[in-house]
Amino acid sequence: MSLMAEGQTTEPPFLLDAARVVAFAVLPQGPGIHFSAVVEGVSLDPRSVSRLVVAANLVDDAIFLLHCNESWQTVAAAPQADAAAARAAAAEAYAGIPIDWIPYRSLTPAEEREIEATRAFLRELAAGGLDQ
């Protein structure tokens, strides 16, 4: 049964946890697929992670590897040096499982505007400009 038939989308939203999605992967499922991943010292339940995302934080463009459930909700996240390091961390965490990364599509003009508005808000918040 396809993911679409189950009511799930294979593409995440363009923004996850105040970060712009750069690339994503849907982990293969099946009886021969097993992993034991630890993220930032926390062991992940393999039943709770089925999607991965490389994302750039909107405040400072820091890169994160997000470990997500089937609804693209973040289960765990870890900062990475860059997108290549995020993909390498995923390969290590999910050793033996093929990870097919998909670059995120070009954003629509409306999505670009939303990113810029959210970025401006978050940067002002981070700078303490909303405390007044």
Q: What is the pTM of this model?
A: 0.86
The pLDDT profile of the chain, 132 residues, written as one tens digit per residue, is 333 334 445 899 999 999 999 999 999 887 767 677 778 777 887 778 999 999 999 999 999 999 999 999 999 999 999 999 999 999 998 888 899 999 999 999 999 999 999 999 999 999 987 665
Range of the domain at 100: 15-105
Q: How far apart are CA 54 and CA 86, in angstroms?
A: 6
Domain total of the chain = 1
Has residue 66 been placed in a domain?
yes
Which among 113, 116, 102, 112 is positioned nearest to 54, based on CA atoms?
Answer: 102
Q: How far apart are CA 8 and CA 14, in angstroms?
A: 16
Has residue 27 been placed in a domain?
yes
Backbone angles phi, psi at 103, to 5 degrees: -65, 140
Has residue 120 been placed in a domain?
no
Identify the three-state secondary structure at position 37.
coil
Has residue 122 been placed in a domain?
no
